[in-house]
Each structure stands twice: as structure tokens, then as C-alpha cells.
Amino acid sequence: MTRRLLLAPVLLLALASPALAGDILQQKKNAVDSKIASLSGALTQVQHNESAVRSEIDTLTNRIGTLETQVGDVAQKLGSLQQDLGLREKRLLDLNRLLSLQTERYTLLTREYCAAVVRLNNRLVEIFESPRPSTLDVILGSNSISEAIDEAHYMTLIGQEDRQVAQEVSIARYAMQDARRRTEAVRAKVAGEERALQVRENQAQETKSALEGAKSSLDSTKQQREQRLSSLTAAERAIADEIAQEQAASVQLGAQIRAAETKSSGPTATPSSAGLIWPVSGPITSPFGPRWGSFHPGIDIGVPTGTPIHAAAAGKVIYCGWESGYGNLVVLDNGGNLATAYAHQSAIAVSCGEDVSQGQVIGYTGCTGYCFGPHLHFEVRIDGSPVNPIGYLP
């Protein structure tokens, strides 16, 4: 691009007077300035996108923080549930051991009771089958009254002791049976509480897993946004570098224009608006002035492709050919430091250096260069600076 900017002014200076060369240089400077404005708009858009992505990253960060808090709360609750569940499991284990011991004791008491009952039954059978001595026999068979009384009392005690043993064992057995029932009731209650806690633990674990999954998804999205932010930042730097290069080119062109204007010795009087005619007949589709964040240095006249373009005033062709966004361009030196330009032509009908008369066909309209439809881009420049063509047309 820099090479084109340097070569084009040399060609123009060779074909035209210094003042008219300044016109073309100004035209090129305005094109560069327009590109700078366009790049500035693109940079603004990139910065806007960067701001939006940063805002989205901040939102994701806040949401991730909230989820982390929720995960922490659920994890704490889950830890308490698991601790409670562990204590209940230990209690249930102890109750199972207690029930096992009580069952073992109950079994032993049952066996002891059965043995006592057998012994009592044997005693009763023995008493029934043996000839039971009467009180008189005991007295007559004793050596003394005191011995007789002791033997009778002893026989009574033996019967009472057998019955008491059986009764005590029976009471102990029933007490142990009741204790086992109470232990089983407590164990059933603890087991129910353990199952309820297990359900709550599972629910808490599922909630924690869901929150961790959501957090992982947000982390992934945040990483993607950060990668996009990095690419936007790189694009911003690239556009800023391009703007810097274009601004340097604009400064260089400005210096060349000032040098050409310094060498110019022609008159600077502004011609009358009656001195020009309309190059084509059609509506103005885009006026002179600010447009799309940049500056439009001419007017766009909407006409079909192939419409003949007439010279707005007599002059000399100082440029004819392709020029960047202008497409096929013809520039006329109309005298008095006034120049006219005709852009986006589908075909050029004159040659560089040719003298043309007012109204002569110099080309045909089209849509070459940077445009969105067939039209004529028409410029009027005084001392190289663009002015509103409407002030110079009848």
C-alpha cells in the first residue's frame, strides 16, 4: 500500500501542474483518512465486543462463586449427615451386639429354667413314688424331739427351694424376654432413622454432584469466553497497528499536498456554481459530509449501469484508471485550482492527458471499487480539498 501511495503522486505530478497534483494527493489523503475512520469504527466495535465478553466473564465468575458457595453448603450439610449416619450405624451395631448378648443370655436362662423344671418334676415324682413318712414316723424314727423337728423342717425346705429356684429362673427368663423386645424396638427405630438419613445423604450427594457439574460447565464456558477475549484483544492490537500505519500514510500525504500547494502559482478564486453542469441526471442517494463514522467527500447520484457520464466542465484528464475504493476513476483539471472527479465507472472513455470539453462523455456509470450498487460518485475539489458539489451545480 505504501508503494502505491508513493508511486501514484509521482505519476500525477508528471501529468499535471503542482496544484492539480495536490488535488489528487488530497483525494488520496481523504481516502486514507476515510479508511482510518472505518478502522476506528471497527476498533470501536471490537472494543465494544471485548467489553461485552468481559462483562459476560464477570457474570460467569459471579455465578461460579455462587455455585462454589452452594457446593460448600451442600458439602457441609452432607458431611454432617454422613457424621450423623456414622454415629447411628455405630449405635445400630452396638444394639445388634447387645441384642445378640441378650439373646444368648435368654437362651441360657431358658435352658436353666428347663433344667430347674425337670429337677422339680423329678423331685415331685420321687416324692410321689416313695412312701412319704408321716410326721409320726419322723418323730418315732428320730433319736430326739429336736432331731425330729429338724428332719421335718428339712424336707419342707427342700421342696420350697426347688420351687423357688424354678420361680426365680422363670422370672429372669421373662425379664430377659422383655429386655430383648425393648432392644428390638430400639434397633428397629434406629434402623428406620438410618434409612431416612441414607435417603437424605443420597439426595445431598445428588445435589452436590449436580452443582459440581453446573460449576464445571460454567468453568468451561468461562474458559471459552476468555479465549475469545484473547482473540478480540489480538484483533484490537492488529486494528490499532493498521490505524497507526494508515495515520502515518495520511501524514505523509498531507505533507506532499502542502508541498504541491507551495509550488502552485495559479489563481485560487472559487468558480461560480453556474460554471458546472450535472454529469448525469438522477437522484442524490448519498450526500456530501459525514457518513458511517467517516466522511463522504462527494455526492452519489443514482443511475443505471452504462449511463453516459458528461464532463461537468471543460478540462484536462489528469488521472484515468483504477484507484482503490474509487474503482475506475477519471479526474479533470478544470482550471482555477478546481478539479472534478468521477468514480465507480464501468468503462472509461477518455485517455490521460486528453483535453475534454464541457458535456463530453468521459465514461459510463457502474459499480467498480467499493460500492453497493450502480451510481456515479462525483467530487468537486478546490486546492485539493473536497467541497460540497451542490454549491457548484446549477
Indicate the domain borders of the chain. Answer: 9-265, 268-394
How many other C-beta atoms can be found within 10 angstroms of the C-beta atom of residue 201? Answer: 17
| pLDDT of the chain, 394 residues: tens digit per residue | 433 433 344 334 333 444 455 566 677 767 767 777 777 777 788 777 878 888 888 898 888 888 888 888 888 888 888 888 888 888 888 888 888 888 888 888 888 878 877 876 776 676 556 665 555 565 566 666 666 666 666 666 666 666 777 777 788 878 888 888 888 898 898 889 888 888 988 888 888 889 889 888 888 898 888 888 777 777 776 776 666 565 555 545 554 544 444 343 333 334 446 489 999 999 999 999 987 778 899 999 999 999 999 999 999 999 999 998 899 999 999 998 899 999 999 999 999 999 999 999 999 999 999 888 999 999 999 988 999 999 999 8
Exposure on the CB side of residue 340, measured as CA atoms within 13 A: 29
How far apart (Å, rounded) are the C-alpha atoms in residues 394 and 274? Answer: 5
Q: Which residues contact 134 (CB under 8 A, 6 or more apart)?
A: none
Give the per-residue pLDDT at 4.
41
The residue count of the chain comes to: 394
Task: Give, as one character, the DSSP assignment of residue 130.
Answer: S
Q: Tell me which architecture the domain covering 9-265 has in CATH.
A: Orthogonal Bundle (1.10)
| Matching fold, domains 9-265 and 268-394 | no
Task: Give, as one character, the DSSP assignment of residue 173.
Answer: H
Give the per-residue pLDDT at 54.
86
Give the per-residue pLDDT at 127.
59
The grid coordinates of residue 5 equal 501511495
| Cα dihedral 363, 364, 365, 369 in deg (nearest 10) | -60
Give the per-residue pLDDT at 153.
64
Residue bearing cell 434397633: 187
Local structure of 267: helix, strand or coil: coil
β-partners of residue 386 are 381
Local structure of 19: helix, strand or coil: helix
- The alpha carbon dihedral of 212, 217, 220, 222 has a sign of negative
Put simply, whether the predicted model's pTM sits higher than 0.85 gets the answer no
Q: How much helix, strand and coil, in percent to the nearest 5, is found in the chain?
A: 65, 15, 20
Give the per-residue pLDDT at 274.
44
The grid coordinates of residue 87 equal 454415629
How many other C-beta atoms can be found within 10 angstroms of the C-beta atom of residue 345? Answer: 26
Under CATH, to which class is 268-394 assigned? Answer: mainly beta
